[in-house]
């Protein structure tokens, strides 16, 4: 999912920044690369640029088969994308909180974050 795709969502994307236990959930701005065009240029080649951005972001309250089907359709766009790895790396680095990025859903990324966190726990603390 590229920045231009998220811009197409307008204010809808910004209105989805909710709080959990008093913490605002949004991309970790401090982790974003600077404004150097070379760092962002990969987004110009994203397959998602020609797709409907709503495919990559679930509407409020979407659950069950509708969400699985939409996520699967978004992932199929990502599967053929020439910049899948760059997109995935970006999403994981800045902790994109919403949407399908680099073929990973919000739940996929959260599972990765949890597995990374679990690996950081010293073995002595686990016993």
Would you give the DSSP letter of residue 59? P
pLDDT tens-digit series, residues 7-63: 444 444 444 444 445 555 666 667 666 666 777 889 999 999 999 999 999 999 999
Instruction: Check the CA dihedral 54-57-62-67 and report its sign.
Output: positive
pLDDT tens-digit series, residues 92-114: 999 999 999 999 999 999 999 99
Distance, CA of 5 to CA of 11 (rounded, Å): 13
pTM, entire model: 0.67
Total count of residues recorded for the chain: 127
Main-chain dihedrals φ then ψ at residue 63, nearest 5 degrees: -140, 175
pLDDT at res. 125: 54
More confident site: 4 or 84: 84
């Amino acid at each position: 999912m590229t920045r231009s795709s998220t811009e197409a969502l307008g204010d809808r994307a910004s209105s989805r920044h909710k709080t959990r236990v008093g913490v605002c959930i949004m991309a970790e701005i401090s982790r974003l690369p600077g404004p150097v065009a070379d760092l962002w240029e990969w987004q110009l080649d994203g397959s998602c640029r020609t797709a409907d951005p709503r495919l990559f972001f679930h509407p409020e309250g979407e659950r069950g088969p509708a969400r699985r089907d939409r996520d699967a359709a978004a992932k199929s766009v990502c599967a053929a994308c020439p910049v899948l790895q760059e997109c995935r790396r970006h999403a994981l680095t800045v902790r994109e909180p919403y949407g399908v990025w680099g073929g990973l859903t919000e739940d996929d990324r959260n599972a990765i974050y949890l597995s990374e966190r679990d690996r950081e726990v010293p073995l002595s603390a686990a016993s």
